[in-house]
Amino acid sequence: MPGFELFGDKERKEVNDVLDSGVLMRYGFDGMRKRHWKAKSLEDALVQRMQVSHAHLTSSGTSALTVALAGAGVGAGDEVIMPTFTFVASFESILMLGAVPILVDIDDTLTLDPNAVEKAITERTKVIMPVHMCGSMADLGALQSICKKYGLLLLEDACQAIGGSYQGKPLGSIGDLGCFSFDYVKTITCGEGGAVITNNKNYYENAHKYSDHGHDHLGNDRGAEAHPFLGYNFRISELNAAVGLAQIARLDEFIGIQKRNYNILRETLSQIPEITFRRVPEGGEENHSFLNFFLPTEKLARRAHRSLGENGVDGCFYWYDNNWHYYRKWEHLTEAKSLGKLPKEVLDSLQDFSKVDFSASDHWMGRTISCLIKLGWTATEVEQRAQKMAEAIKSAL
């Protein structure tokens, strides 16, 4: 991670196809395309790779989440349960629809704690949205059981975990809907882009229409298409899709490199008694884009993270203090800061963040360090890095 580290002739070939045709838009201009349909081809590839019936590309992972929620009928006042540790896009996508993000604690998977999820369910809850952060997954079996018990939808945010699996199924394909991000720093990239996958034909039909101004995409005359409902513009371009089409063909290659590099680092760090690793649910396989580990205390985690930086080890993150990924720095959400007036349904239903207790999340995040796994490292470079990391952490303990 990320896929841009290994850009090459395959990506250039797909992009040049688009430039040669001159058609950068995914819809229309059939006669000019020279039979190049990069977005459609990438969607077909996703269907095959993710073992689902339908895939639809969008302009970003954020828009994919919004489109997925809208496609499932989520709207004003509906509550969506999400974790305290994620990217800000998770609650942005919910708020865009006038729905209400309900934050709940994580556990040692660094994802949704099923017990906390069940306690947060109300009569307004419509969706449980686990976020498979840093390459690994939530306890999907437990969350599926909760969804079945209460009649809720399961939406997997797999934006950081493409290529991982659970019980032999690709992450993103297990819930009612799944979403991916293909932004510039993801395992496979389009530069900017995202995707919704599902086995539900109705959700898919809603998704492709909603993301293109409500166009029904029937017939061969775009100007004559009907609009069965309101929509917006969340389209991907052919140029972005072209890059992704080359990259998805390389996904197994990338995952294999990540796994090799991950295992070298983990084997070395596992020799430090004070280090333990995040729990991967039984039957789960990470995509190995991050190595995530715990120190015994917050104080030691801070010291170890500082030592890594001082010793020239880049790409290691202490999420507890991070502005984008952990609730403690989300003042724009917790203080409901908005350019325009937020819907009454949102203002009336947002949690009182001055009173809510997320100490269970703090227990895990305060002790967590995450290290990015790069694709461009040679085996020798990873081994050298592993020794450097071990020495830096030991010096802080």
Which are the catalytic amino acids? 186
Q: What is the DSSP string of 233-256?
A: B-PPBHHHHHHHHHHHTTHHHHHH
Q: Rounded to 5 degrees, what are φ and ψ at 228?
A: -70, -20
Identify which of 57, 37, 85, 117 has the alpha carbon closest to the alpha carbon of residue 325.
85
Is 262 in contact with 288 (CB distance < 8 Å)?
A: yes
Q: Distance between the two ends of the chain, CA-based, in angstroms? A: 29
User: Any idea what DSSP says for residue 61?
Assistant: H
